[in-house]
Structures are given as C-alpha cells and as structure tokens.
Structure 1
Amino acid sequence: MVEEEAVVQACLTRNHQKMKIRSLVKRAFFITFGAVAMAFGLEGILIPNHIIDGGVTGVSMMLSHLTPIKLGVFLFLLNLPFFFLGYKQIGKTFAVSMLYGILTLAVSTFLMHDLAPVVHDEILAVVFGGLMLGFGVGLVIRNGGVLDGTETLAILIEKKLPFSVGEIIMIINVIIFSVAAFVYGLDNALYSMLTYYIAFKTIDIVVKGFEDMKSVYIISECNQIIAETIAQRLGRGVTYLRGEGSFTGDDKNIIFCVFTRLEEAKMKDIIREIDPSAFVIISDVGEVKGGRFKKRDIH
C-alpha cells in the first residue's frame, strides 16, 4: 500500500513538473512574440513617422530622437528601476517575466533599427502602429509580463494616492505627450495620442478577448418566460436568486445569467420583447470558470 502511494506521488510530481515546464515555455514564447510585434510597430511604423507611444516607451523614443543613442538602450535602462520595484513589491515571477520581456523588446529594436518604413502616411501609421503596439503589449500582459514600467509605477503609486491606476497612467501620459508637442510638433503629438488610444483599446481586446464575459440581473413580473426564452434562443442557463421588495415586502425571483459580449444585443432584445419595464443590471465579468458555462458561436 505504501509503495503504491509512493508511485502515485511520484507520478503526480512528474506531471506537475511537466505542466510547469510547459507553462514556462508557453509564457516565454508569447512574451517573445509580443515583444517582437511591439518592436516592429515601433521601428517599422511609428519612429519613421515621428509618432511616439506613451509611458516609458514614449520617453525612450524622444530621448533616442534627441541623441545618437539607440532606442533599445533607453528602453532597457529606463525600465530597469521598475524591474527592481516590481521584484520587491509584486513578486519574483512578475519581475522575471517583465525583465525578459523588456530585454527581448530592446534587442528586437536593435535588430530592426535599419528596417525600411512600412508606411509613410501618418494616418496609416497611427492605425497600424497602434494595432501592432496593442497586440504586442496585450499578448505579453495576458501571459504575465510587462513591456513598460509605467504600469508597475502606477500600481505602486495607487496605494499612496487617491487615484486609480488608469488615472495615474493618464496623468503621466498627458505630461509625456505635452513634451512631445515641443519635440515633434503639435500635429505629431496629437497623432501620438490617437496611436496610444488605439493601442489601449487593442490591449483590452487581446487581454480579455472578443468574447468578454458579462452578467445580467433581471427583476421582472415575467421571470419564468424570460428565463425560458434565454435558454431557448441563447442556449444559456439561468439561476434564480431570492429577493424581497423593500416597499412591498413581496418575495421576488431575480434572474442571474452569464453570457458573452457578442450576445449582449440579443439578451437586451429578449428582455425588451417580453417585458420592456423589467429592471435590468448588466455588468462586466473578469473571468468565468467551472459549472456548465461554455462559449458559443453567435448566429
């Protein structure tokens, strides 16, 4: 019996090690791919058109423009302090992933420094540069890394100031783009702001996915019909939550359901068709696991 338990334990240990190695290889691959994509967006699209990104990357691009020193040097040196901050405040795994991503980004920009410009039109550069940056950064964030120390700084500052991470990053970038107006001119600074906005939205899509999860709470006199219709037309299960009206004291069944962002319009149509006066709350859901929830194709 003891020998059998030892064999089982050994198998579990081996499987755990294999999964850990597989996870590390997968993380390294996607961080590498994301960093290379961002480097291509910088060297092949944005820099030739004098458009910058936000954060530490934007500062590095301006310094590289004003000095003979290549972009990769500034990317590594300016992000290095945030690596030590991340290691101390957030954790070893995060810091190592961040360092690997920044090193890969810096080396990639060195290798692509003499790359011929992909586009020469500012509008095309804004759109495709923002998409490339957002795709690269989003891919790295999704796999536990970071390519810009601004996020790390914002997370740490948030604990001491009455501002959210997003507000802190916005304030930092307003300062950076204001300086860019003097370095590149007002037009290019405004192009840079548009690029950052596109990159920001692309990051959101890459990190969360097109089928971002949402949840809905529905209070209606037609709960049963709504629940049955959701099951028939969306293929989603619902859960009844027990509630009580504060004014009437009546017991109420509250419908709770999780669905994808692509199903939101159809969900609203169902509720509106059956009970236009229903009280509805729809909110974003960060992650869904377990149960019978599955992503479905939308037809």
Structure 2
Amino acid sequence: MKEADGKPKTKHIGLPIGSIVKRALFITIGAIITGYGLEAILIPNQMIDGGVTGLSMILSHITPINLSVFLVLLNLPFFFLGYKQIGKTFAISMLYGIIALSVATSLMHSVEPVVDDHLLAVVFGGLTLGIGVGLTMRNGGVLDGTETLAILIEKKLPFSVGEVIMFINVIIFACAAFVYGLENALFSMLTYYIAFRTIDIVVKGMEDMKAMYIISDHSDALADAINDRLGRGVTFLHAEGAYSGEDKRVIMAVFTRLEETKMKDIIRDIDENAFIISTDVAEVRGGRFKKRDIH
C-alpha cells in the first residue's frame, strides 16, 4: 500500500501485551508515589510542585474544588496536543498517567501528614516527587502536560524546551508567592529543584554512560589496555586529517561515569599526547555492550 506521494506506507506495529502491562504498572506506581508526595508532604506544608500540577494545587487551595479535578481538567488540552504533535501511544500513556495521579490524590486526600517541618518537607517532598515522576517518565508516561506545551512552543519560538519550562514555572511560583507567601514559594522552588535532579537520576540511572573518542599513534596498545584493564570493548573508526591528509584510527569506547577516571589513567599511561573527546550518552542498547570480568 502506498501513500499519496507514492512512498510505501509503513505498517504500525503495536506494543506487545506484556510491555503494555509493564508500562501501565510502573506508571500506576509512579502516580501513587507522586500523589502521596503531594497530599502527605507538600500540601500540608503549603508548598507546590511546578508546571500544571503546581497550578492545580494553587487553584484547589483558593477554591473548594478538589485537586484531582484540576489535574484532569488542566491537563486535558495537553493530551490532545500530545496526540497531535507526538503520537497516539504517547497521548494514551499521558492520559493514563494523569488519571492515575488524579485518582491517587483523591484517595489520599485525607492521609495524615508525615512531616510538619518545612526543611524536611522540601527534601522528602522533592525526593518523593522525583522518584514518582521519574519512574513514570522512564516507562513512557507523563504526569504533567507542561513539557508537551514546551515542545510545541519550541517549534514556534527561538527558545529551548528547558527555557520554556523555566519561564512557565517562574510565573507559577510567582503566583504561589501571593497565595502561600514568599517563604513558602521559595521552599517550593527548592522542592522542585530536588525533584528535578531526582527525576534525572531515576530516568537515566545511577550509572550515567560516557562515550570517548581517542586519536593516538598507539591505538592498538590503547585498545588492548582498555579491554584488559577496564573490561570494555572498543571500536575502531577510520578518519583522515583534513590538514595532513593522514589516515588515522579513532578509538571509540563507551563506559560508565564511574569508570571515567580509570579510562583517563589508562590513556595517560600509554600516550599522554592522545587527543580525547568525551561526551555524555543518553542510552546504550543492544550490541555487545557488556563489561567483561577483569582480574
């Protein structure tokens, strides 16, 4: 079957049932953890989260309407936006996550506060939200529509997703200063920062990956040393110097951040003049990326 432009139409392959169940399970767990953080830690201490969730918390504070209602109503436009801009699977996962969070906050509305100290609320509130939201994001779900809006704005205006989210949150925390007071708004900002950093750890994992490109006249010795002393395999890339015209072999190696210091020691021992480019890696899958035992 072909599309209007004559190109063959690609058949969409849905997710296996096992993957769907796993995704739904972890999104549910993430929503429950996040809901507990909101109802048992932040709300009793008059603090808010960022994004649509934070705006929902402000509106539920100044009106008799329950937080769970605002979570669904304010995120619905972003569900349709996500469906149009990103796709059906993302939109369904987002809608499920938002509904799960709404139900969780509704069921936990009368739960007893676990801390009544603002500093403890900042730390444990941020950690709880970060773990819940991070677990959801890691499994393809979303609990807040702010990022969907940011992606759309990024396409229309010369701002990054991070800059758009920061601008939105500045407005929301400014509103919180009028509703809860400046001190509580500042505590909310600290909570959001801790949650943001925790999300990063949960989504990426404790061992961030690094990639290193090494240009050296001792490429064979370096490759052997990396394999023997670090237990990592390497790949040779062929390159040519633009100025000299010489053929060069570039070593590419991927390893964890914890192994970075040892990698640099290996390079220094063999070739102090090696040219090195190091970069962060978001994800590594497939192939033969497995650490070999070293002795």
TM, length-normalised to structure 2 = 0.90
1:297 shift after superposition: 8.7
Hey, what does 2:153 align to over in structure 1? 157
For 1:267 and 1:128, the matched residues in 2 are separated by 36
Q: Which runs of 5+ in 2 are unaligned?
A: 1-12
**1:243 lines up with 2:250 in the alignment:** no
1:211 shift after superposition: 2.4
Q: Which runs of 5+ in 1 are unaligned?
A: 1-15
Residue 292 to residue 151, structure 1, CA distance change in 2 (3 Å): same
- Judge conservation of contact 1:41–1:132 (CA < 8 Å) in 2: yes
Hey, what does 1:186 align to over in structure 2? 182
For 2:286 and 2:133, the matched residues in 1 are separated by 28
Alignment length, in residue pairs?
A: 283
- Judge conservation of contact 2:232–2:292 (CA < 8 Å) in 1: no
Hey, what does 1:214 align to over in structure 2? 210
For 1:75 and 1:168, the matched residues in 2 are separated by 20
Residue 93 to residue 229, structure 1, CA distance change in 2 (3 Å): same
For 2:67 and 2:177, the matched residues in 1 are separated by 19
1:15-94 → structure 2 map (5 Å cutoff): 20-94=16-90
1:168 shift after superposition: 0.9
Aligned-partner residue type, residue 292 of structure 1:
R
Hey, what does 2:114 align to over in structure 1? 118
Q: Counterpart of 2:254 in 1: which secondary structure?
A: strand
**1:96 lines up with 2:92 in the alignment:** yes
Residue 118 to residue 294, structure 1, CA distance change in 2 (3 Å): same
Pick aligned residue for 2:168 from 168, 172, 184:
172
Residue 297 to residue 287, structure 1, CA distance change in 2 (3 Å): farther
**Bigger mean CA offset, 153-162 vs 238-247:** 238-247
% of aligned pairs identical?
72
For 1:212 and 1:62, the matched residues in 2 are separated by 36
Note the alpha carbon deviations across 1:67-110, whole angstroms, 9 max, x for none.
Answer: 22221111111111111111222222211111111111111111
**1:148 lines up with 2:140 in the alignment:** no
Aligned-partner residue type, residue 213 of structure 1:
M
- Judge conservation of contact 1:260–1:295 (CA < 8 Å) in 2: no
Residue 263 to residue 31, structure 1, CA distance change in 2 (3 Å): same
- Judge conservation of contact 1:262–1:298 (CA < 8 Å) in 2: no
Residue 295 to residue 102, structure 1, CA distance change in 2 (3 Å): farther
Q: Counterpart of 2:16 in 1: which secondary structure?
A: helix
Residue 42 to residue 295, structure 1, CA distance change in 2 (3 Å): farther
For 2:150 and 2:251, the matched residues in 1 are separated by 38
1:296 shift after superposition: 6.9
Q: Counterpart of 1:280 in 2: which secondary structure?
A: strand
Q: Counterpart of 1:159 in 2: which secondary structure?
A: helix
Hey, what does 1:134 align to over in structure 2? 130
Q: CA-atom RMSD, angstroms?
A: 2.0
Hey, what does 1:289 align to over in structure 2? 285
**Bigger mean CA offset, 236-245 vs 287-296:** 287-296
Note the alpha carbon deviations across 1:237-288, whole angstroms, 9 max, x for none.
Answer: 1112122223333322211111122222222222233333322111122322
For 2:47 and 2:66, the matched residues in 1 are separated by 16
- Judge conservation of contact 1:218–1:279 (CA < 8 Å) in 2: yes
For 2:257 and 2:79, the matched residues in 1 are separated by 35
- Judge conservation of contact 2:231–2:291 (CA < 8 Å) in 1: no
**Bigger mean CA offset, 214-223 vs 109-118:** 214-223
Residue 235 to residue 109, structure 1, CA distance change in 2 (3 Å): same
**Bigger mean CA offset, 70-79 vs 264-273:** 264-273
Whichever structure has more helix as a proportion of its residues is 1
**1:225 lines up with 2:221 in the alignment:** yes
